[in-house]
């Protein structure tokens, strides 16, 4: 087999790995790179392989850095099956439609940050997304399916977001049975809502993510205690708790955590508002897969009229519902997107809340450099929104343990479960610091030197 790394090599975005097994070519993921789409040399604007030559595409999960360029692939002439888990199929169709809509809107307005750049041509249109959805081949977890002659695919739950999967491929080469495993993104262990990432044994070739290979994050019970204290403070002061959160995954996790606080930990309930139309649609998908959650989580949510919904949780669809929250008094919780405070409804909630010291802002996810969310997390005294400066008087709490990514301890555990004797291993989907820190953790389980591939590096394995 030959493997070539076309993205997420020494960086965290643009996941795309090309496998050549015998005469078949299989692409793992087709993600968006984090780059300015308007730049003519953006890596999102062209492929470094020939889409027409592919025989199959296998998707690990529905985050944009793993699915964001699927419509470009079909636009460029790919006409074969796209394998997804059932929930990933549902979520991907929502995420890609949303992406096409945003790109269409952007293409009609000049970029305010770069007005001289002209209008940006969308990478794809809604019609391209429909084509992708039509070619989905939805597979359940834990069922081996022959996707090409002699090559079987088995999806294993990765516990990262709903529908997320580890990709296991079994095939025969030169009369020898071989097992290839791609972790996709692995979730954290013992995080309440989703199950732990599934361990896999007898791996010959491993491609592992490494996002938080350099970090040790707080355990779940500590995070819940911190959240408890934040809710108690809001109740005492009558304050608002503002939680910037991505619409996919983090929003549902936080809703669940507040439900757990109110029911299991007997914290006095306060109203929770989820303010994001995209989160509303994605939460509906989360309700369609009750079996995806841990038995504890199901016990917490079973008494409610529906999952991720109780009398304390209200979802805001319209702008009027959203604006109404600005004029309500606490105690209350507002979960809104975007997760890094760069766009969306979170901005007007912050504008109304940041100057009051009785309020709190709770950062529960990664904040990229230069984003408003990063400034808040770093404890800036003043922040600028829509040309106006605001004093940041609200209390700021950074609870990055709510991340969807396995930390160093979780990855150590997962590698140890493999039973070792891995013939070849590659680390992808990480910044240099994470890759360097994780290499010695993985090395004892691998018979050859762990490889950190550069983009477009190619290996016969």
- As measured in angstroms, the least distance from the Cβ of 403 to Zn ion is 10
CA–CA dist 66, 100 (Å, integer): 16
DSSP string, 317-356: -SHHHHHHGGG--SSEEEEES-TTSSSSTHHHHHHHHTT-
Q: Which is nearer to Zn ion, 215 or 323 (CB)?
A: 215
- Residue among 457, 162, 146 nearest 307 (CA): 162
Helices 220-237 and 250-263, packing angle to 10 deg: 70
Q: Which is nearer to Zn ion, 160 or 214 (CB)?
A: 160
Where do the H-state alpha helices sit in 184-312?
220-237, 250-263, 277-287, 295-301
Where do the H-state alpha helices sit in 12-108?
64-67, 70-75, 86-108
- As measured in angstroms, the least distance from the Cβ of 64 to Zn ion is 9
- As measured in angstroms, the least distance from the Cβ of 367 to Zn ion is 16
63 binds Zn ion (CB under 5 A): yes
Site for Zn ion in 258-287 (CB under 5 A): none
CA–CA dist 162, 204 (Å, integer): 27
Q: Which region, judged by CB under 5 A, interacts with Zn ion, from 40-48, 55-63, 309-317, 407-415?
A: 55-63
The backbone torsions φ and ψ at residue 266, rounded to the nearest 5 degrees and listed phi first, read 55, 35
- As measured in angstroms, the least distance from the Cβ of 158 to Zn ion is 9
- As measured in angstroms, the least distance from the Cβ of 63 to Zn ion is 4
157 binds Zn ion (CB under 5 A): no
Site for Zn ion in 89-148 (CB under 5 A): none
Q: How many CB atoms lie within 10 A of CB 197?
A: 26
**Binding footprint of Zn ion, residue count (CB under 5 A):** 2
Q: Which region, judged by CB under 5 A, interacts with Zn ion, from 171-179, 185-193, 232-240, 336-344?
A: 185-193
- As measured in angstroms, the least distance from the Cβ of 267 to Zn ion is 30
Q: Which is nearer to Zn ion, 240 or 286 (CB)?
A: 286
Q: Which region, judged by CB under 5 A, interacts with Zn ion, from 25-33, 62-70, 221-229, 237-245?
A: 62-70
185 binds Zn ion (CB under 5 A): yes
Q: Which is nearer to Zn ion, 95 or 360 (CB)?
A: 95
Biggest CA–CA distance in the chain, Å, is 70
CB contact at 8 A, 314 and 325: no
Binding site for Zn ion (CB under 5 A): 63, 185
């Amino acid at each position: 087999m030959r493997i070539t790394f076309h993205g997420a090599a020494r960086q965290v975005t643009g996941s795309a790995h090309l496998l050549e097994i015998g005469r078949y070519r299989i692409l793992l993921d087709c993600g968006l790179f984090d780059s300015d789409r308007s730049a003519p040399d953006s890596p999102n604007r062209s492929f470094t392989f020939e889409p027409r030559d592919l025989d199959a595409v296998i998707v690990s999960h529905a985050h944009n850095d793993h699915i964001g360029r699927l419509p470009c692939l079909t636009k460029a002439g790919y006409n074969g099956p796209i394998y997804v888990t059932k929930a990933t199929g549902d979520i991907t169709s929502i995420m890609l439609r949303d992406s096409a809509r945003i790109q269409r809107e952007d293409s009609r307005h000049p970029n305010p940050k770069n007005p001289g750049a002209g209008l940006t041509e969308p990478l794809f249109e809604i019609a391209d997304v429909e084509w992708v959805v039509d070619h989905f081949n939805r597979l359940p977890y834990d069922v081996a399916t022959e996707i090409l002659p002699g090559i079987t695919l088995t999806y294993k739950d990765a516990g990262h977001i709903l529908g997320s999967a580890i990709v296991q491929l079994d095939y025969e080469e030169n009369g020898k049975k071989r097992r290839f495993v791609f972790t996709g993104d692995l979730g954290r262990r013992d995080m309440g809502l989703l199950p732990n990432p599934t361990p896999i044994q007898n791996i010959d070739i491993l491609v592992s993510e490494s996002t938080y290979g350099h970090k040790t994050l707080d355990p779940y019970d500590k995070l819940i205690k911190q959240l408890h204290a934040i809710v108690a403070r809001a109740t005492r002061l009558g304050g608002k708790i503002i939680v910037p959160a991505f619409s996919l995954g983090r929003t549902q996790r936080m809703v669940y955590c507040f439900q757990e606080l109110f029911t299991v930990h007997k914290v006095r309930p306060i109203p929770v508002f989820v303010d994001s139309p995209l989160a509303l649609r994605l939460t509906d998908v989360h309700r369609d897969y009750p079996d995806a959650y841990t038995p504890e989580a199901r016990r917490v949510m079973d008494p409610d009229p529906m999952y991720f919904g109780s009398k304390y949780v209200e979802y805001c669809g319209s702008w009027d519902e959203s604006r109404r929250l600005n004029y309500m008094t606490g105690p209350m919780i507002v979960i809104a997107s975007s997760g890094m405070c760069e766009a969306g409804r979170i901005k007007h909630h912050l504008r109304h809340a940041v100057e009051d010291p009785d309020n709190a802002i709770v950062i529960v996810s990664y904040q990229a450099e230069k984003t408003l969310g990063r400034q808040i997390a770093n404890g800036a005294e003043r922040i600028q929104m829509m040309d106006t400066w605001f004093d940041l008087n609200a209390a700021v709490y950074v609870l990055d343990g709510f991340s969807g990514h396995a930390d160093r301890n979780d990855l150590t555990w997962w590698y140890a479960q493999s039973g070792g004797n891995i013939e070849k291993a590659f680390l992808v989907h990480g910044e240099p610091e994470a890759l360097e820190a994780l290499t010695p953790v993985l090395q004892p389980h691998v018979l050859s030197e762990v490889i950190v591939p550069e983009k477009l590096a190619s290996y016969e394995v």
